[in-house]
Amino acid sequence: MGFLSKLIDMPSFDGATNALLVELTLPTLTESQRAQLKVQVIEVFRTSSAPQTPTEVSLDDLNQAPRVAQLNVLALAMKELGYQPPLKKEALHKVRNPFDPNLADESALRAVARRLKWKHGVEIWIGSESISFDSW
């Protein structure tokens, strides 16, 4: 097996794939999908961090999280709701901890971005600002 097969088995590859696919999906979401996702994102966030935390506190913490972590929480919520990424033959991955800093590995993000450009002809990059779920 070569370099690519080793890369595909890395958690950072899964997190980078999720982040880039969700970044591509965000502009296509309808208002009702965003509302549905917001509820599910809070549930996923609370399940992965502190289940007893009030919704408002969870939302505030989530709004302050790094964008890659937010995108991976969104990927988990989208996966639970059955949402598919807009690119055929691409799938969202299950990650154990969406807040793992290794998921934001710059080299994995670049490698996945190159793969998606080569395979689908689209350029995707992570936005620089955190997502504000308050405005959803």
Read off the pLDDT of residues 39-82 as tens digits, 9 standing for 90 and up.
999 988 888 777 778 888 888 999 999 999 999 999 999 999 99
Q: pLDDT tens-digit profile of 93-107?
A: 999 899 898 888 899
Q: What angle do CA 112, 67, 106 make, to 5 degrees?
A: 35
Percent of the chain with pLDDT over 70: 91
pLDDT at 10: 58
Question: Looking at the domain assignment, is residue 65 inside a domain?
Answer: yes
Please give the residue range of the domain that contains residue 28: 3-126
What total of structural domains would you count in the chain?
1
In angstroms, the first-to-last Cα distance of the chain is: 43
Question: Looking at the domain assignment, is residue 133 inside a domain?
Answer: no
pTM of the predicted protein model:
0.88
